[in-house]
Every structure is written in C-alpha cells, then in structure tokens.
Amino acid sequence: MVEERMIILGIETSCDETAAALVTEDRRILANIVSSQYQEHKPFGGVVPEIAARAHLNHIEFIIQKAFIEAKVSLNQIDGVAAAGGPGLIGGVIVGVMMAKGIAFAKNIPFLPINHLEAHALTARLTNEIPFPYLLLLMSGGHCQFLVVEDIGNYSYLGGTIDDAIGECIDKTARLLGYDYPGGPIIEQLALQGNSQAFNLPKPLVGQKGCSFSFSGLKTAARKMILENKEASPTFKTDFCASFQKTIGEILVDRCEHAITMALEKWPKINNLVVAGGVAANQFFRKCLMTCAEKNGLSVVAPPVNLCTDNGAMIAWAGVERFRKGLWGALDFAPRPRWPLEDLKNEIREKIS
C-alpha cells in the first residue's frame, strides 16, 4: 500500500500497557495494538514499576512489529516516531523513548517526545476533529483536572484534585471489595445491578466555589462502609457500587457546572466539553456530564472507550499535531516521571524564540 499522507508511529509505555499504533495525518488509525500487563501485576494487587518496565522491554518489539503488519506499511513509509516521554513510571517510559529514538535515528526521521496527558487531551481531535479552544476534563488513574485546551501545547489549568485522583479512589475502593486493578470497569458493571439509593456517601467540595476535586474523604468513607457491611447482605456489593458510582457522578456534575461557568467567562467561544482519560470510559459518568454540558449549551465529545484508556493511537496523533507545527524533539530528550501540562507552554516558547 502506498500512503501519500504523513504516517506517525506512536509508542505508549508509561504505565501498564505496552502499545503501538500507526496513524495518518488525515485521522486514519491504520493499526492500534495494546497489550495489557494485567496478568503480570495481578498477584501483587497493583502495578509494580519494576515488573512493568521489564514487561515493556519483553513486549515492545513484538507489539510494534504487529502494528506494522496490521497496518500493511513498512518502516520506510513512516515520517516520524512519537513516544510517551512522561509523566509516568520512569522505567517504562525509558523503554518506549529509547525504542522510538533508535528507530528515528536509524531512519533519520523526527523523534517526537509526547506528554502522555497532552495525548489524552488531543484524542478528541483525532476522533471528532473539534476546533480549539475546548474545555477538557481529564480523569485517569493519576489525574483529575479541568483544563482549557487553547492550542497544541497551550493548556490553562482551571482546577483539579487537591488529594487523590478519581481513578485512584475507584481502584482502591474496588480493591477493598476484592477486585484487582483496574477497578473502574468492574465497579461500572456491578453498579448496573444495584440500588444507587442504598448508601449515602460524602461529596467533598460539592457546592463550593471553583472546580477543584477532593476524593480522599470519599475513599475513607467508602473503606469504612465496606469494612462494616461486607458480609451484611448478598446485594451489598452491587448496591454499594451503584451508590458509590452515583456519588461520583454527582460530584462530577457539580464541579463541571462550575468549570463551564469559569471557562465561558474567559473563553466565550468554547462549544465543547471533552472528557478524556481512562475513567472517561465509564458510560454512567459520560451520561451525567452530557446532561450537565448540554444544559449549559456545550456538546460533550468523548472518544471511544478503547481510545480513552491508554493506547498508542493517542500518542501517534499528538505526534501528528506536533509534527505539523514543527515541534520535533531532540535525541537527547530525557524521560520525565513528572511533567505538568502547563509546562508545555514555556517549552514551546523557548523552542520558538
């Protein structure tokens, strides 16, 4: 197959998914291969950084080869290599970055180090081609924040969690119920069969000014409730999950109302609320946010579930967006365990000046 459009290879290794994808500049996903390390981490009840790094090393070559075979393109046809350069578990990030640098060096094509959060933030432009600016709710295992996406690399923070991330609260609660990481999908499933009015849980910061989140109080209350009621009734788990999920839905709606007001005050052109990150895979949360956004005149854009959780296509797409702006990286790029989105503004300024 001869491709006339730019093709970017995207590599994701920042947590527990080894992933590679090939994406074209005209928004076609030619291949998107994701290998979960679920089995490797299962005995330990969470992601073990050292095991993750070794597993990435073991799987990465095969996953990349598989992507090329599925896409029916050769290494000579790609125009650039993007890899998640952070934030994330550093051992894994190094594996992906070094692989990408190696390919870019060997083929003499640009290397594009991608901020993992920027990749989540831009996925909606791959799937729905939405214009800047838009309001973004990024919710994952390590993050929960509202940002205004003004341009590539230009993110304005409106508010976020002051303690735990939303996914962390969900995963730890699921663990207490006896379920392995990731806890989100099982809680969503169990909630479908339960009574959401059965339990009353706290909703920290709801009704208060701004759009910050706090999940540690909810996590502690959930823990107490589970330890006290675990054996109480056969429907405990389903009723609890339904109540827990409903509580988080109400928190999201309240915070979202505030974020929309804040965003529209400064950026009246915003038409879209984008929800991204692994927790955005939850259909109930999507419905809650949709109602809230529509009431306020915004449309909700949520990428398909397989593009919400970590994947290579989102990295490749961020690579396409950066490539088009000439924002290539250097081969001396150092992987970053911490890499706040707001830093990107300054990095671009330095590059251009």
Chain residues that interact with ligand KG4, rule: CB under 6 A: 15, 140-142, 167, 170-171, 182-185, 188, 277-279, 281-282, 309-310
The site partner of 272 among Zn ion, ligand KG4, none (C-beta below 5 to 8 Å per kind) is none
The site partner of 92 among Zn ion, ligand KG4, none (C-beta below 5 to 8 Å per kind) is none
Q: Which residue has the tokens 């419905």?
A: 287
The site partner of 293 among ligand KG4, Zn ion, none (C-beta below 5 to 8 Å per kind) is none
DSSP state of 235: T
Interface residue with Zn ion among 81, 310, 317, 339 (CB under 5 A) is 310
The site partner of 185 among ligand KG4, Zn ion, none (C-beta below 5 to 8 Å per kind) is ligand KG4
Choose between 18 and 140: whose C-beta lies nearer to Zn ion: 140
CB of 307 to Zn ion, least distance (A): 11
Contact present, 174 and 241 (Cβ < 8 Å): no
Instruction: Give which of 136, 134, 41, 127 is closest to 89, Cα–Cα.
Output: 41
Choose between 236 and 285: whose C-beta lies nearer to ligand KG4: 285
Site for Zn ion, residues 22 to 81, rule: CB under 5 A: none
Choose between 170 and 262: whose C-beta lies nearer to ligand KG4: 170
CB of 74 to ligand KG4, least distance (A): 30
Q: Where are the beta strands (DSSP E) in 25-75?
A: 29-36
Interface pattern 125-164 for Zn ion (x via CB under 5 A) = ---------------x------------------------
Choose between 133 and 278: whose C-beta lies nearer to Zn ion: 278
CB of 342 to Zn ion, least distance (A): 17
- Residue 250, CB-side half-sphere exposure with 13 Å CA sphere: 17
CB of 314 to Zn ion, least distance (A): 8
CB of 15 to ligand KG4, least distance (A): 5
The site partner of 309 among ligand KG4, Zn ion, none (C-beta below 5 to 8 Å per kind) is ligand KG4
Instruction: Give which of 80, 211, 101, 216 is closest to 146, Cα–Cα.
Output: 211
Choose between 47 and 81: whose C-beta lies nearer to ligand KG4: 47
d(CA 265, CA 261): 6
E strand or H helix at 347, and its extent?
helix 343-352
* Helix %, strand %, coil % of the chain (to 5): 50, 20, 35
d(CA 228, CA 273): 39
- Part in contact with Zn ion (CB under 5 A); list of ranges 56-64, 131-139, 162-170, 302-310: 302-310
CB of 53 to Zn ion, least distance (A): 17
Contact present, 260 and 271 (Cβ < 8 Å): no
Q: Looking at the DSSP assignment, which residues form a beta bridge with residue 148?
A: 135, 156
d(CA 202, CA 218): 6
Contact present, 332 and 98 (Cβ < 8 Å): no
